[in-house]
Amino acid sequence: MTLQGGLTRRDLFMKIGLLVNGIVGAILAVPIVGYLLSPISRERKGAYDAWVPLGDLEKFPSGQTRFATYRNPVVNPTDGDTADIACWVRNVDGQSFQVFAVNCAHLGCPVRWFPQSGLFMCPCHGGVYYQDGSRASGPPERGLFEYAYKIEDGKLLIKTGEMPTPGQASNIGGERRPCA
Amino acid sequence: MRLIESIGQWLDARLQIGGVIRETAEHRVPRETASWFYVFGSAAFVVFMLQIVTGILLALIYVPSAGEAWSSLQTLNHNVTLGWYIRALHGWGSDFMVAIVLIHMVQVFLFGAYKYPRELTWIVGVFLLLVTLGMAFSGQVLRFDQDAYWGLGIGASIASRVPFVGPRIVNLMLGGPIIAGATLSRFFALHVFVIPGLLIAFVAVHLLMVVKIGINEWPMPGRVVRKATYVKEYHELTKKEGVPFVPGAIWKDLFFAAFILLSLAVCAAYFGPFGPSGPPDPTIIQTAPRPDYFFLWLYAVLSLLPPSMETPALLIGPVVLILALLVLPFAFGEGEKSWQRRPIAVLTVLLAAVSLGTFTHLAENAPWSPVMDAWSGVPIPAEFLRNRSALERQGALVFQLKQCHNCHSLGNEGGKRGPDLDAVAVRLTQDQLVRQVIQGGGNMPAYGKNLSPAETTALVDFLETLHPAGQSPARDASRAVVLESGATTPSAAPSPGNP
C-alpha cells in the first residue's frame, strides 16, 4: 500500500520507529549527561569549599612559617591518602596569618619552604616565591595561592576544598604584588 | 589431517570468511614494498596486541582505588610470581609502541604515503598517534605514585588555563575538587575501556583502507601523483610487477615483529618495571616529579617558555600542530612522493627530531630545577675554600645556609638554575655583587630582607675570591680612587664620587 507522495506504510513505520528511538535516546541522554557532568554541577553550588581547622594557634609561632596538613572537606571512601592535603602557614606577626597552598602557581608542583633564605622553591620548573607568597623568580606569573583564614576558639581555620589551579581564582588572594 | 580439513570446511560453510581471508592474504602489493622500510605499522600492531595481553594480566591484580592502587603495584612487584615482569613488559611495551608509531609516521611522511588517495588513512593515523599518546599518559596515571599524582596536578593546571571553562574542565578531569579516588577511577575507565576501544576501531579502519586501497608504492623520483591517473597507474603497477602479500611481503613483517618482541622482552627483563615511586600522599612534598620519557620534551618546553607565552603556546600550539597534520594530505595531495624531491619535508622531519631530542635531553638533566638539597647535601669543593680568610669562609657558610647552592653551582656541583659562580668575581665587581645579592633581578630573588649586613659582607667577600688563578677579579677603577682619596685625606673637601 502506498500513501500519497510515494511513502509506503513500512517507510512510515520505519520513520516513526526512528523518531521514537530518537525521543527515548534524548530522554536517556539527560541522566547520562547529568551523571557525567556531576563534578561540575556540584561545584557550581559552591559545595566544595568549607572551613577546615588546621589546629591550635600554638602550632604556628609568630614570625615563622610552618607546614600543616588537613583532611579535605570533600572525601570519598576510596580516596586513601590523597584526601590529606598540605599547606604552608605563615604567622606574620602573631596577629595576622597567611596560609599558602603547596601547589606552585605555575603548574601545581609542591613548593618547599626554606626558612634560612625566606624563600619557597618549586622542584619542577624552578619557580621561587618570597615569604609573603609573592613571586620572586622563575616561570610563575603570580604569587602563591592563598587561602582565606579565620581564628575561632584559639584554632586556625582556612576555607578550602578545591585544589587551586592557575585558571581558577576562587578563594585565592592572588593579586600580583610588586617584587619585594 | 582430513579431520582438520573437514572441521575447517564445516566452520567456513557457516562463517563464510575463508574467501575474504584468502583474498586479503593474496592481494597483490608492489614488489618494492616488500621492504624493511614497510614493517613498522605491523610491528606497532603486534606490540599493541602484547599490550592488551599484559594489560589484562595486570588487571587481575591491580586495584583501581586511590587508597590501594599503589600497594597493589607493590604486590605485583614483590608478592606475585613474575608480577614484576608483566609490569615491565607493559611499561616497556608502552615506550616501544610510542617509538614505533612515531617511526612509522616519519616513514609514511617521507614516502609521501599520505597523498591521494590515502588521505583518510593518514588522518586516522594521526588519531592513532593521539590515542597512543593518550594511552601512555593515562597509563602513567594508573601507576598511581608521586609522579602520577603531581603529573595530574600539572595536567589540571594546564587545563585550568583554558579561557572561561578552564576550572570546569579541571573538575571534569579530576572527577571532583581534588586529585582523589574519582580521578584514578576515571583514568582507569579511560585507559581500559574508552581509549582502547577507540584504538581498536581506528586500527580496524586504518588496516581496512591499507588493504582496500593498497599499500603505498615505493616512491620513485619523477613518478608524480595526479588524481586523474593515479589509481589506474597503481593497478597497472601491482598487476605488472606485484607480488602476493602472503608470502611475498609478510615474511619481513614477521621477522621484524619477532625482533621487536624479543628486544622488548630483553629490555623488560634487564631494566625491570617502572616504579612505582613514592606513595601518592600529597602531604609528602619532598619529591621532584618527573614525567615519563615521551613527555620529557613537554616538561622542558614548560620550563623554558617565557611566562607570557606559556598559556597561548600550551592552548594554541597543540591545536595548530594537530590541524597541520590533518590538513597536510589535502594541501599536498598530489605531486612528488620521493623524499629526494621533497627537501622541505626532510627538513621538517629533521627539525622536529632535533627539537624533540634536544628538549628531551635537556629535561633529563633539568638544569632549570633548583637542586632542593644542595644547600645541606652538596658541600663546596675544597679548592674554593683553601687559603681563604675567616671572613671569606664565613661567607661560604652563608652561601650554603641561604640555599645559594640550590641554584648556583661551584665546581659543577649544585644547582644549574642560575649561572655557575666558579668565576663570578671576574664578571661582577664588588659593588655589582652586593647589588645583585640584595636586589636580585635577572630571574634571581632579592635577598635584602634575609641577609644581615654582616652576612652580606661575608658572602660578597667569599664571592670575590671566585676567579681563576692568574686572572684578577673585576674591579671598579673609580671606586679605588674614591676609597684612596677618602682614606688619605679624610678632612679634605668632599670628592666627587664620595657616597
Per-domain residue ranges of chain A:
4-36, 49-160
Of all helices (H) and strands (E), which one includes residue B250? helix B250-271
pLDDT at B72: 96
Between CA B165 and CA B169 the distance in angstroms is 6
Distance (Å) from the alpha carbon of A12 to chain B's nearest alpha carbon: 33
Q: Which residues contact B380 (CB under 8 A, 6 or more apart)?
A: B396, B399, B400, B405, B410, B411, B413
Interface with chain A: mutation pick from B178, B187, B398, highest number of A CBs within 10 Å: B178
* Residues of chain A contacting B296 with CB distance shorter than 8 Å: none
* Residues of chain B contacting A79 with CB distance shorter than 8 Å: 66-67, 180-181
Q: Which residues contact B448 (CB under 8 A, 6 or more apart)?
A: B438, B439
* Residues of chain A contacting B403 with CB distance shorter than 8 Å: 114, 116-117, 119, 121
**Residue A99 — φ and ψ, nearest 5°?**
-120, 115
Q: Which residues pair with A135 in a beta bridge?
A: A129
Break chain B into its structural domains and give their ranges: 2-365, 374-488
Q: B173 pLDDT band (50/70/90 cuts)?
A: very high
Residues 9-68 of A with CB under 8 A from B: 36-37, 39-40, 42-43, 48, 67
Residue A56 CA: distances (Å) to CA of A51, A53, A157: 15, 8, 9
SS3 A56: strand
Distance (Å) from the alpha carbon of B404 to chain A's nearest alpha carbon: 9
Mean pLDDT of B262-284: 95
Between CA B147 and CA B334 the distance in angstroms is 46
Q: Which fold has domain B374-488?
A: Cytochrome Bc1 Complex; Chain D, domain 2 (1.10.760)
pLDDT at A60: 93
pLDDT at B145: 93
Between CA B122 and CA B221 the distance in angstroms is 21
Residues 122-161 of B with CB under 8 A from A: 149-150, 153-154, 156-161
pLDDT at A44: 57
* Residues of chain B contacting A103 with CB distance shorter than 8 Å: 153, 157
Q: B309 pLDDT band (50/70/90 cuts)?
A: confident
Length of chain B: 499
Contacts across the A-B interface (CB distance below 8 Å)? 215
Cβ separation of A39 and B174 shorter than 8 Å?
Answer: yes
Query: Among all residues of chain B, which has the CA nearest to that of A87?
Result: B283
How confident is chain A (180 residues) per 10-residue block, as mean pLDDT?
A: 73 95 97 91 70 92 93 90 94 92 92 92 90 90 92 92 79 39
- State the Cα angle at B210 between B206 and B212, rounded to 5°: 115
Grid coordinates standing for B324?
A: 597541520
Cβ separation of A163 and B179 shorter than 8 Å?
Answer: yes
* Residues of chain B contacting A114 with CB distance shorter than 8 Å: 375, 403, 406
pLDDT at A177: 37
Cβ separation of B445 and A128 shorter than 8 Å?
Answer: yes
pLDDT at A4: 63
- Residues B56-79: pLDDT tens digits? 999 999 999 999 999 999 999 999
pLDDT at A168: 72
pTM of this structure: 0.89
Between CA B436 and CA B434 the distance in angstroms is 6
Q: Which residues contact A128 (CB under 8 A, 6 or more apart)?
A: A119, A120, A121, A122, A135, A136, A137, A138, B370, B445
pLDDT at A174: 41
Cβ separation of B161 and A167 shorter than 8 Å?
Answer: yes
Length of chain A: 180
Residue B453 CA: distances (Å) to CA of B229, B398, B434, B449, B450: 83, 12, 10, 10, 10
Which of A37, A84, A140 has its CB closest to that of B283? A84
Which of B159, B176, B446 has its CB closest to that of A180? B446
Mean pLDDT of B4-23: 92
Phi-psi region of B412 (alpha: psi -120 to 50; beta: other; left: phi over 0): left
- With 60 as the cut, is the pLDDT of residue B340 above it? yes
Mean pLDDT of B10-26: 92
Mean pLDDT of B155-162: 91
Measuring CA to CA, which residue among B372, B458, B459, B470 is closest to residue B415? B372
* Residues of chain A contacting B66 with CB distance shorter than 8 Å: 78-82
Query: Among all residues of chain B, which has the CA nearest to that of A34?
Result: B172
Half-sphere exposure of B129 (CA within 13 A, CB side): 19
Residue B439 CA: distances (Å) to CA of B137, B366, B435, B463: 42, 26, 6, 16
Between CA B287 and CA B150 the distance in angstroms is 9
pLDDT at B479: 77
Between CA B16 and CA B184 the distance in angstroms is 43
Q: Are B78 and B293 in contact (CB under 8 A)?
A: no
Between CA B224 and CA B332 the distance in angstroms is 12
Rounded to the nearest integer, the mean pLDDT of chain B is: 91
Residues 402-461 of B with CB under 8 A from A: 402-404, 406-407, 417, 440, 443-447, 449-450
pLDDT at A1: 55
* Residues of chain B contacting A124 with CB distance shorter than 8 Å: 150, 154, 288-289, 299, 303, 369
Residue B385, judged by CB atoms within 10 A of its CB (0-12, 13-18, 19+), counts as: middle
Cβ separation of A168 and B167 shorter than 8 Å?
Answer: yes
Distance (Å) from the alpha carbon of A91 to chain B's nearest alpha carbon: 17
Q: Are B445 and A119 in contact (CB under 8 A)?
A: yes
Interface with chain A: mutation pick from B168, B284, B299, highest number of A CBs within 10 Å: B168
Q: Is B280 on the interface with A (CB under 8 A)?
A: yes
Quickly tell me which residue has 594537530 as its cell. B322
CATH class of A49-160: mainly beta
SS3 A110: strand
- State the Cα angle at B283 between B282 and B284, rounded to 5°: 90
- Alpha-carbon torsion angle B287, B288, B292, B296, nearest 10: 170
pLDDT at B442: 82
Cβ separation of A110 and B182 shorter than 8 Å?
Answer: no
Between CA B30 and CA B443 the distance in angstroms is 59
Q: B492 pLDDT band (50/70/90 cuts)?
A: very low
Query: Among all residues of chain A, which has the CA nearest to that of B291?
Result: A124
- Residues B67-126: pLDDT tens digits? 999 999 999 999 999 999 999 999 999 999 999 999 999 999 999 999 999 999 999 999
Cβ separation of B282 and A85 shorter than 8 Å?
Answer: yes
Measuring CA to CA, which residue among B128, B146, B450, B419 is closest to residue B285? B146
Taken in order A7, A13, A18, A20, the sign of the CA dihedral is: positive
Mean pLDDT of B33-57: 95
Q: Which residues pair with A120 in a beta bridge?
A: A113, A129
Measuring CA to CA, which residue among B369, B143, B451, B363 is closest to residue A112? B369
Query: Domain B2-365 belongs to what architecture?
Result: Up-down Bundle (1.20)
Q: B156 pLDDT band (50/70/90 cuts)?
A: very high
Residues 78-107 of A with CB under 8 A from B: 78-86, 102-103, 106-107
* Residues of chain B contacting A50 with CB distance shorter than 8 Å: none
Cβ separation of A116 and B402 shorter than 8 Å?
Answer: yes
Grid coordinates standing for B16?
A: 563464510
Q: Report the side by side order of strands in the sheet with A97-101.
A: A50-56, A155-160, A146-152, A97-101, A84-91, A65-71
Q: Is B376 on the interface with A (CB under 8 A)?
A: no
pLDDT at B425: 87
- Residues B130-153: pLDDT tens digits? 999 999 999 999 999 999 999 999
CA-atom Rg of chain B in angstroms: 31
Between CA A100 and CA B285 the distance in angstroms is 14
pLDDT at A180: 32
Distance (Å) from the alpha carbon of B435 to chain A's nearest alpha carbon: 14
**Residue B446 — φ and ψ, nearest 5°?**
-85, 130
Which range is least confidently modeled, A38-47, B194-203, B351-360, B388-397?
Answer: A38-47
* Residues of chain B contacting A137 with CB distance shorter than 8 Å: 440, 443-445
Cβ separation of A137 and B444 shorter than 8 Å?
Answer: yes
Cβ separation of A137 and B180 shorter than 8 Å?
Answer: no
Cβ separation of A123 and B171 shorter than 8 Å?
Answer: no
Q: B482 pLDDT band (50/70/90 cuts)?
A: confident
Q: Is B308 on the interface with A (CB under 8 A)?
A: yes
Q: Are B55 and B90 in contact (CB under 8 A)?
A: yes
Residue B366, judged by CB atoms within 10 A of its CB (0-12, 13-18, 19+), counts as: buried
Q: Are A125 and A139 in contact (CB under 8 A)?
A: yes
Cβ separation of A108 and B157 shorter than 8 Å?
Answer: yes
